[in-house]
Amino acid sequence: IVLTGDQVVTCNGKILEKPESIEEAREFVAYYRTHPPSTVGSCVLTHLPSGIQVSGVDTATIYFAPTIPTDLVDQLVALQEPILSCAGGLMIE
């Protein structure tokens, strides 16, 4: 049995990849003030001998306060949070 999964972030009809720079991460966060992002997570469980698969998808929308601190990205970088390695600069666990 193999379990696979992934997550993407969508915002205002666009799929957001991992930010390519700290500046792009800042742009994402600024955009979240007025456009709530959503995470779309999926997983597939595969039984290898038979090829039978079971899958699921779940979506969660995150509503940020319009008062997100303008230095939030800098605070996260200072804490060594992996914002450049997460889709949309978000790590939702």
6 is catalytic: yes
Block residue for tokens 């939702």: 92
Q: Count of residues for the chain?
A: 93
Q: Strand 14-16: give its sheet, edge to edge.
A: 14-16, 2-11, 38-47, 52-61
Given the residues 6, 58, 71, 74, select the one marked as catalytic: 6
What are the catalytic residues?
Answer: 6
